[in-house]
Every structure is written in C-alpha cells, then in structure tokens.
C-alpha cells in the first residue's frame, strides 16, 4: 500500500493577510520617529549657535522655526498613521495621505526658500546648502511613494475590507443539540 505524504490543505486566498501593511507601517514608524527626533533640533539650533544666524537673512531663520513646527506636526500624524497601518485600521490611509501631501508641499517650499537664500550667502555655504536641497528633495521620495501606493485600486479595496468581519472558516451549519 502506498502512503501519500501528509500535505496540508491549501489556504484560501481571502484568509491570507498581505505583508505590505506591516512593511510600510514599520518604515513609516521609523521615518516618523527619526523626523520627530531631528525637528526639535531645528527649533533650538538658532539659540545654541547665534553666530550662524547672522549668516542667513532674518526672514529665513523665522521660516526655519515654522518649518520645524510643521515637521513636528507632520511627524506625529505620520507616526499615528504608521501605527494604525500596522493594526490594519482603515483610518491609516487618510492620515498617511495627509502626511504625504503636506510633506511634498513643504519640501517644495523649503527648496524654493533655500534657492533664494543660496544667492545671498558665501560660496562655501551655498555649496553645502545645494547639497542639502538635493538630499531634502530625495526625502520627498517616500511620501510620493505612499501617495501612489495608497491610491492604487487594489490597495484601496484591501483597506476597505479591513472593516469587514473575518470570513467564517466553517461551512457546516450547526445541527440540533443532542438531548434537546
């Protein structure tokens, strides 16, 4: 007699959970945490190094403070969105979209401000600022990715399904109780 190997039954595709919410949730939490650690430094740096402030136009230094406060607010929204995504909560999508759109807008505003400042500082400082503008522009890559990813129809359907109760694994209807 031939013995067949003990192969488990195939898993129903609706019962498998996708991995992307975990991956994007963890990346979002790490990225938001890094931003929340760095943005407060932007707020206190002018007080710690007053000589550096003299190198920049006064309007720029006040805008740096507002950008840092905006970055802290965006970091909080991003962190909450990442945590909610890990928990597969549908409210994660609008939070992450708000963060992403605001991050792209603030990145463009910051690059435009720096472009104007670069013209009024020393050539050495201007070179460093151009490098900062380049890497700041790269920082918008993840928010753009989030916008594109979260607006994909398949992803939107999956997020909507997180509100639904889990499908029942039993297809057998309960019968009458014994002794009833």
pLDDT tens, position by position, for the chain (180 residues)? 566 667 665 555 555 789 999 999 999 999 999 989 988 888 888 788 777 777 777 777 778 888 889 889 999 999 999 999 999 999 999 999 999 999 999 888 888 888 888 887 778 778 888 887 888 788 899 999 999 999 999 999 999 999 876 555 555 555 555 555
Residue of 12, 71, 19 lying closest to 79 (CA atoms)? 71
pTM of the model: 0.76
d(CA 73, CA 80): 11
Residue 89 domain-assigned? yes
By the 10 Å C-beta count (0-12 exposed, 13-18 middle, 19+ buried), 129 is classed as: middle
Tell me 57's DSSP state: -
Contact 99, 81 (CB under 8 A): yes
Q: How many Å is the Cα radius of gyration of the chain?
A: 25
Length of the chain: 180
Residue 178 domain-assigned? no
Structure tokens at 119: 């013209």
Residue 172 domain-assigned? no
Residue 32 domain-assigned? yes
Residue 49 domain-assigned? yes
Chain centroid to CA 133: how far?
20
Residue 30 domain-assigned? yes
pLDDT at 121: 77
pLDDT at 66: 86
pLDDT at 45: 80
Residue 90 domain-assigned? yes
pLDDT at 39: 87
Q: Which domain holds residue 145?
A: 20-161
Residue 166 domain-assigned? no
Number of domains in the chain: 1
């Amino acid at each position: 007699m031939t013995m067949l190997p003990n192969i488990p039954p195939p898993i129903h595709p609706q019962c498998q959970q996708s991995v992307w919410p975990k991956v994007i949730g963890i990346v979002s939490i790490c990225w938001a945490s890094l931003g929340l650690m760095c943005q407060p430094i932007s707020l206190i740096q002018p007080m710690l190094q007053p000589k550096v402030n003299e190198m920049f136009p006064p309007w720029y230094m006040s805008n740096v403070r507002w950008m840092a406060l905006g970055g802290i607010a965006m970091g909080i929204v991003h962190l909450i969105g990442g945590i909610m995504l890990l928990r597969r909560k549908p409210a994660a999508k609008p939070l992450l979209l708000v963060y992403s759109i605001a991050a792209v807008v603030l990145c463009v505003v910051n690059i435009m401000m720096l472009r104007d400042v670069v013209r009024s500082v020393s050539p050495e400082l201007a070179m460093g600022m151009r490098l900062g503008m380049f890497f700041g522009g790269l920082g918008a890559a993840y928010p753009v990715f989030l916008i594109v990813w979260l607006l994909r129809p398949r992803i939107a359907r999956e997020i909507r399904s997180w509100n639904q109760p889990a499908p029942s694994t039993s297809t057998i209807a309960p019968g009458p109780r014994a002794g009833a």
